[in-house]
Amino acid sequence: MDTVLKIAPADREAYRAAKDRWDSIAKPLEGLGTLEEAVQRIAAVQGSADVDIGSRCVVIMCADNGVTAEGVTQSDSSVTALCAAAMADGTSSINRLAEVYRAEVLVVDVGMESDVENERILSRKISRGTGNIAAGPAMTRSEAERSVQIGIDIMRDLKDRGVKIAAAGEMGIGNTTTAAAVAAVLLGRSPGDVTGRGAGLDSAGLKRKTAVIEKAIRINRPSPDDPLGVIAGVGGFDIGAMTGMFLGGGIYGIPVIIDGMISAAAALLAYRLAPAVRAYMLASHSPGEPAGRLLLAEIGLRPVIDAGLHLGEGTGAVMLLPVLDGALAVYRSAHRFADIGLERYKKLV
């Protein structure tokens, strides 16, 4: 894990140059709001005001969670394999969006119970699902480290292929339970504050899910000061691998888009491991699960989209891409104050 220490600060000069370019456009200052900040942050990561997000990839980390044995979900782990196969075959929701928004979809098996015979699934399986966090740890510490390293290595490979921006997605039945457990520990909040209905639990199911998370934290006693220990105790292989993606974005200089609450939990884990990685993250939307906004606020990030999204698979993260494309069209070619002989607007305090 020594590689996480090699995260350089983002380029502040490029950030300022991008802001100056925005301010030169004949429009109200910060007229595109959070989108202007997003473009400036990408410029800082890329070290140039000439922002390029032409080559983009959404990575879907697929894994199963032993906690499903506690009745915290509507469906069992077989659905993870079915959905992974559909994504690999190009027929799932994320594929339709990615096709329109010109993003590659990379499906990775980091810990599914089943072996899906599909050459378009990248096999990085650590184990056939995690342990049941209500009965003991999700995984060993070495497995947690391995999951994080998988994400880092995938970002290295994307860098080698010329990918300019990545999105962190996931698929795994039971992972809103593990992510809520991670959030409760990292945020110091009660499970009741951060646990939602996932894919559609009724009130009785939500109460059972919250009690399972309380039990998991009581049994495993993860410390918020030990992010790897949190992954090992109450996390999942998908969460660990996405944590590695965010760290890898910092190491290899690629902005990584956060999707929903599960992705945001991984982002906060990465931030706790290496605070400098915050500069390499973009928040796409306000997650529907209760912990979502809390996790993003803890990192200090503002989402661009607020549309009640909670589909998963990286769909919300990919939806940020066309919004950024639109902002960049203005950034690159809209007329400027100098073009029309008008004095620049000044920020008045």
Domain residues for the domain of 39 are: 2-50+330-340
92-121 tens-digit pLDDT: 999 999 999 999 999 999 999 999 989 999
Same structural domain, 86 and 152: yes
Tokens matching residue 349: 């305090």
Phi, psi dihedral angles at 254 (to 5 degrees): -125, 125
Query: What pLDDT was estimated at residue 148?
Result: 98
In a domain, 266, yes or no: yes
Same structural domain, 132 and 46: no
Tokens matching residue 125: 């399986």
Same structural domain, 42 and 65: no
In a domain, 46, yes or no: yes
Query: What pLDDT was estimated at residue 189?
Result: 96
Residues catalogued as catalytic: 313
Cα 263 to the chain's mean position, in Å?
3
Query: What pLDDT was estimated at residue 348?
Result: 65
Number of domains forming the structure of the chain? 2
The CA–CA distances, whole Å, from 204 to 178, 182, 192, 197, 243 equal 18, 22, 13, 10, 31
- Beta-strand pair 121-123/103-111: parallel
Query: How far is 87 from 62, CA to CA, in rounded Å?
Result: 10
pLDDT at 301 over 90: yes
- Beta-strand pair 121-123/256-258: unpaired
Stronger pLDDT, 4 or 219, i.e. the higher one:
219
**Who's near 185: CB < 8 A, 6+ residues apart?**
217, 222, 223, 224, 230, 233, 234
- Average pLDDT taken over every residue of the chain: 94
36-52 tens-digit pLDDT: 999 999 999 999 999 99
What does the buried/exposed string (b/e) look like for 99-118 if buried means 16 or more CB atoms within 10 Å of the residue's CB?
A: eebebebbbbbbbbbbebeb
pLDDT at 3 over 60: no
pLDDT band at 131 (very low <50, low <70, confident <90, very high): very high
In a domain, 348, yes or no: no
| Domain CATH number, residue 135 | 3.40.50.10210
Query: How far is 121 from 41, CA to CA, in rounded Å?
Result: 31
Query: How far is 150 from 143, CA to CA, in rounded Å?
Result: 10
Query: How far is 32 from 240, CA to CA, in rounded Å?
Result: 34
| Domain CATH number, residue 18 | 1.10.1610.10
